[in-house]
Structures are given as structure tokens and as C-alpha cells.
Amino acid sequence: MTGERENSPLISLSKLPVEVGRSPPCEIVLPDATVSRRHASLLRRDGNVVVVDRESRFGTYVNSERVRERVLQPGDRVRFGLRIAYEFRSDGFHLLLHQPHEIQLELVGIARRGRLLVDGVTTTLKPGTFVGILGPSGLGKSLLLKTLAGYFPPEKGRILWDGRDVWSQRDEYLQHVGFVPQTDILFDALTIEENLDFAARLRLPRATQEEQCRAVKDVVERLRLSPHARKPVTELSGGQRKRVSAAIELLRGPHVLLLDEPTSGLDPGNEARFLEILRHVTRRQETLVVLSTHSPAAFKLFDRLLVLRREKEVGRLAYDGPPEGLLQEFQGKDAADWFETLETGAATSDPGAVDPGGPPRGTAPEFEDDAPTPQRAHSTTAHWPAGRSAVAQLARTQDVPRLSRQLALVVERCYATISRDRALVAMMILQPLLLGLLVVFSQYNPGRIDPIVFFTVVIAIWLGMNNVVRDLVRERRQYIRDRMSGLRAEAYLGGKTAVFSAIGAVQLVMLLWLVRWGSARILDEHLSQDLVELSPWAWWGGLMLVYLCGMGLGLLVSTMVRTEEAAVAALPMLILPQLLLSAVATGDSNVPMSQPRGFRPLIVTLDSLVHPADSASRWEQSVVGRFADAVSCLCYSRPGLLMIIRPEITDFPRYLWIGDLLHVLVLLAATHAAVWFMFFQRENSWPAMAGF
């Protein structure tokens, strides 16, 4: 008896144990996208009926609480995924008709940085309703949406969902909510289909590839994007980009879709079309769609309007009802007068427009007496708290693919975005070739091969930094969007590191081949022979290590700066010390390493510190020389050169270079550890930059 019942109205206790899932061989088949293929088990144990979750993607819930295993009592409601629920009774499990959840706001107040911005908002938002939030700038419309999204708790009052406080069931609530920030967060080099495909693979990890493709096709059709599905995002109009942003959030089929100023920057025609499409989504899915807007021109399209007015620098509800009532209140006024009225706080709610069964509108009288002024607001809740926890904890509320699958997704997407940028690909190919030629023609008579090797080391460090220094800051908004949908930071950084390491490996092969081939034709026979005797594998391996060091430094800068311009401006300050704090730049390369000098192998330098009497002449160096020698230990170029050329020094073993190899490895580990530490520390400040 496999797969015989779909959405069975009754699961008899006599049939236990049974498996519940989206497809056979489960006995109870629930064909819903939020139900996993093998979702849960219903069984008897010690005379009790038990529900056991089977690591489902959207979870198993008992009375709105997500559970792994629970002994059931008569009257318990068991929900599989986000939509299908049964009530447990004495004779079995009875299917409950889907009852969409409504959101209730009770005297909600929102503060930011100690200042109360919104106060006394009381309303009820029902499923299948298209709601617009209107009002002047700076009254907290965006903060109200973000609070509805579950990102921040309200400063005052409470928000209820399905009759329970949102923050008592936040993990479950976030599964039902989609939030679209004001700024479009898309990968411009990819097509609409590719953007949605990568998003579906992250947001619907337990769905089969066929189901993911079907979900993508469905949102493309609903948002009327089919004619443009294979266009790169760069070729889309503003209205089409907005639709793609909304489509990404609709992939999971949320019950609540929140959009922050989605019509900003759109002409009246595109604005009307976009709102019509959202209205259609509302009707088709019984989705609650709430958006903020400054435009009064299109408010006739909404089912319901929430209008904020300014009162003592605080936003309060001036109107809550259908557009028709607002038209009567502001009859004969143009948009400028309309907003002037709201700015001055002259607008008041019209009691005659209240729905008979609806909640009260405007500021509750009993709340006004004890409402604090902006100066008295006692805490800051409407911004991302300091530390790693906020973003990381929000990401953990999402059930996501395994780390290996996320890593593969990031690698594939990163490769796709790079390969579509022809100018970037051309520069990545030309840079090692042109810089290699510069080394060949500038080092035509160096006297020894050290300067040639040194400049290849500096170029490897440069390539590592230059390849990645703009990448993280450029994709910061996309990262935060995906992070809040469950992307793990380890997968993101690991994928980026893997892609750019592969690119660097190819670049260094090109550089090394050109330098060896060109120098052999320009140098005299003695130096050419020295160059040939230098192992190409050791040379390439050393270059690869310092490339990874440079890449780590570039990622660190990209993590810490706010703009691409700042990241690029940092490059000269990072590369010049690698060049100037060296034996080549100071002229010490002409002094044999068997003589006292700076920039020697690490073991020799440490030995001179431990046994100063054996190398008293070392102290003949100037104070500046000793300082430069010490600081150069922080530069990748110093041990990078020494581990490749492997100098032989009297009274020291042949494997002296191992100390320099360890030196590079320590610098490499320290750099990438700093990247991970700073990335996790600073990611909490990024949601505000991305509009979350």
C-alpha cells in the first residue's frame, strides 16, 4: 500500500506505523512543495502515538512548535511543512482545511538608535490582501516592514501571527515570509533563469531538480517574465528587475510577501504594471502582499491602505481602510497637498471608513497618555545588534543544503559570473603575460637570478590581491540576501577561495612559462643555466603559496572596506611594502648571504639573535636597517623568494629553506584566519547596506 492516499482526510490509527512524504514509497503522500520526499513518521510507542520528523526541510510542527519527536495528545495539531495540517483525535488524524494565517499588530512602536519612529500602530492584515503603506519620508515605513519581516522585535506592543507572538515562533514565522528590499539584489551578468535557478537550489534544497525547474518556470510565468527569461539582468528595464527580485522570494511560496519601495524609480506605466502583477499574485495564492510606497497615484490598485502621518516627529496611523475612504478624505487635493497634510499631522482617521469587523485604526487613545517622546525611547531594537549572532542566528532558522552542495553552488555561480565578463577574463589572461614580459625585458643583466625570481614572487602576490580585492565588497548585497536564506559563510568563502585559487594556478603557469622561456633567450649562458636548474615545480609551488597569501590579503581588505573604490585604493599600499622591504630594493642582494646582512633566511636571522657573539658584525647594520629587516618578516615576498632560490650558507644545513617555507605557511594561515574572523565580525553590519 504505497502512495495510495494523497491528502487523505483521515489517517486511521489502525494503519500505524506510516511514513508521510511528498512521493512514494511513503504510505501517506502529501503533494506539496514544502513537504519533503520522506518527511515524517507516525507510529506507536509504549501505548502512545508519536510523530518523528525525518530531517525535513520545512519541518514538522505540533501546535505551531517545530519538533523532532513528540508524543501526541488528543487535540494536537500536526503540520507537515508549511501548509498541510492534521488534528489528532481518538480515531486518527483528521485533515484540517487550510486556514491562512493573519497578522495582527497591537499598539506597535518601533525605535532606531534610541529614537522612537513609529508608535501606536494597531491593525489586522488578512491573507489574500494587497496592502499599501503610504506616508512621508522618514516616518519608518521601511522599519515597519522589517519588523513585520521578523528581523527586529518591536520596541513596544506586539505582533501576532496565527494568534501567537511572532517572536515566540520566529523560526517558523520566517519560513513563511519573503522580504524584497528597495535595491534590486541580482547577479547582473546572469540571465533571469540563472538567477532564479541558483536561488531555487539554495531555497529548495530538498526538491528534486525537476521540482526546482518547475518552481522557477512557475514564478517566471506568474511574474510575466517568460519573454525575457534568457536575457542578462543588465539588459532588463527597472520594472523587469523588480519582478525578478520578487520572483526570487516567491520561489518558496511564502504566505507573506513584503516589499520596500518596489516602485521607486519606475515610470507610471511600469509602476502600474508591476502593481497589477503583485495584485494577481495576491489573488492566486492567497498571499498577503504588503509594500511601502511614496506614490499616491497607484493607490487605487490596493485592497487596503495604511497611511502614516507625522505627529511630534513620530509616525502614527492616520488611516487604515480601503482606498475609497481615503479618496473621500483627501478629495480635491493633489499629491503635494496630500503629503503636506500628512507631514503636518493634520490628517486623522475617518471613523466611518472602518470595517465593521476590523480592528481599530489610528493611535489608540489609551496609548497616547503614556507614549514616550523620541527622547524617552529607552533602547535601540530596529537595527542589527553588534556581534556575529544576529545574521548567523537568522541564517540558522533556514533549513539549507549540505555544506558540500552549497560550496558547489557558490563555485558554479562564481565561475559563471566571471566567465560572462569578457573584459575581466581578458585582463586576467593579459596581466601575467604583460607583467612577465616586463620582468624579462627589465632583468636583462641582473648578475644573478635572485631579482628575476623575486619579481615573479611580487607579481604572484599582486595577482592574488588584484583578483579578489573587489569581489566581496561588490557582492555584499547578494551575499546578505543569500545568507539570510540559509547560505553558510563557510560555503561562500570556501567557494570564492576555490575559484580564485584555480584562476591563480593558471595565471602562474602562464607567468612562469613566459619568464623562463624569455629569460633563457636574453640572459648570458651562466645565468640561463642557473635558471634552468631551478626546479619549475618548486618555483611554481612557491609562487602559488604567496599568491594564496596575496589572495587572503585582498579578501581581508574586501571584507573591511565599504566600497569597491576604497578596495582598489588600498592596493598600492599593500603591494609596495612587498617590493620595498626586500634585499633587491635595498641593494642587499649584492651582499652574499654568508655575510652579515638583512633579509636572510629566517633560521639564519633567528640564529643571529640567539647567538649574537657569533655574529657581532650583524650589529654593524644601522638601526634603520635592522628595523627594515624585522618588519620584512611580515611580508610574503621575503620568505617567498628564499624558499624558491634555497640559498646555501656555510655552517647551516642544506634544508635551510624549510624554515622559510614554514614562515610562509604561518603568514598564510594568519592571513586567512584574519579573513574569517573579520568576515564573521563585520557581516552583522552589512544587512543595513543591503536594505535589510
Write a three-state SS string for 105-160: EEEEEEEECCEEEEEEEEEEECCCCEEEEECCCCCCHHHHHHHHCCCCCCCEEEEE
Same domain, 171 and 270: yes
Parent domain of 237: 186-253
Q: Tell me the one-letter amino acid at 93.
A: F
Q: State how far the Cα of 205 lies from the Cα of 211, in Å rounded to an integer.
A: 10
Q: Which three cell numbers stand for residue 669?
A: 594561515
Q: Inform me whether the pLDDT recorded for 616 exceeds 70.
A: no
Alpha carbons within 13 angstroms on the beta-carbon side of residue 497 total 18
Q: Inform me whether the pLDDT recorded for 524 exceeds 60.
A: yes
Contact predicate 656/353, CB 8 Å: no
Mention every residue, 6+ apart, whose C-beta is less than 8 A from residue 235: none
**Does 374 map to a domain?**
no
Q: Tell me the one-letter amino acid at 571.
A: L
Rounded to an integer, the average pLDDT of 164-184 is 85
DSSP classification of residue 523: S
Q: Which residue did the predictor score with more confidence, 648 or 115?
A: 115
**Does 277 map to a domain?**
yes
Same domain, 218 and 290: no
**Does 383 map to a domain?**
no
Mention every residue, 6+ apart, whose C-beta is less than 8 A from residue 620: 596
Q: Which three cell numbers stand for residue 46?
A: 509504549
Same domain, 331 and 422: no
Rounded to an integer, the average pLDDT of 320-337 is 70
**Does 386 map to a domain?**
no
Same domain, 44 and 75: yes
Query: Where is average pLDDT lowest: 256-265, 277-286, 323-332, 369-378?
Result: 369-378
Among 81, 96, 111, the domain-final residue is: 96
Rounded to an integer, the average pLDDT of 33-46 is 89
Give the rounded percent of residues in the chain with a pLDDT score beyond 90. 43
Give the rounded percent of residues in the chain with a pLDDT score beyond 70. 83
Q: What is the pLDDT of residue 354?
A: 39
CATH code: domain of residue 36: 2.60.200.20
Among 221, 253, 285, the domain-final residue is: 253
Q: Which three cell numbers stand for residue 70?
A: 513528540
Same domain, 451 and 599: yes
Cα separation of the two ends of the chain: 48
Rounded to an integer, the average pLDDT of 132-141 is 84
Q: What is the pLDDT of residue 334?
A: 59
Mention every residue, 6+ apart, whose C-beta is less than 8 A from residue 640: 457, 460, 461, 542, 543, 545, 546, 549, 664
Read off the pLDDT of residues 40-92 as tens digits, 9 standing for 90 and up: 999 999 989 999 999 887 789 888 788 999 999 999 999 898 778 899 998 89
Same domain, 199 and 333: no
Same domain, 569 and 424: yes
Rounded to an integer, the average pLDDT of 509-528 is 92
Q: What is the pLDDT of residue 369?
A: 34
User: pTM (2 decimals)?
Assistant: 0.80
Same domain, 218 and 140: no
CATH code: domain of residue 324: 3.40.50.300
**Does 356 map to a domain?**
no
Band (679; pLDDT cuts 50, 70, 90): very high
Same domain, 234 and 273: no
Among 194, 219, 253, the domain-final residue is: 253
Tally Cβ neighbours within 10 Å of residue 408: 16
Q: State how far the Cα of 528 lies from the Cα of 542, in Å rounded to an integer.
A: 20
Band (333; pLDDT cuts 50, 70, 90): low
**Does 108 map to a domain?**
yes
| Mean pLDDT score across all residues of the chain | 83
Q: What is the pLDDT of residue 397?
A: 57
**Does 600 map to a domain?**
yes
Q: Inform me whether the pLDDT recorded for 515 exceeds 90.
A: yes
Write down the residue that cell numbers 602576490 correspond to.
461
Q: Which three cell numbers stand for residue 90?
A: 481518538
Q: What is the pLDDT of residue 420?
A: 92
Q: Which residue did the predictor score with more confidence, 590 or 558?
A: 558
Rounded to an integer, the average pLDDT of 334-339 is 61
Same domain, 115 and 169: yes
Q: Inform me whether the pLDDT recorded for 493 exceeds 90.
A: yes
Same domain, 515 and 652: yes
Q: What is the pLDDT of residue 686?
A: 85
Q: Inform me whether the pLDDT recorded for 366 exceeds 60.
A: no
Contact predicate 507/428, CB 8 Å: yes
Number of domains in the chain: 4
Same domain, 587 and 635: yes
**Does 388 map to a domain?**
no
Q: State how far the Cα of 507 lies from the Cα of 432, in Å rounded to an integer.
A: 6
Q: What is the pLDDT of residue 370?
A: 34
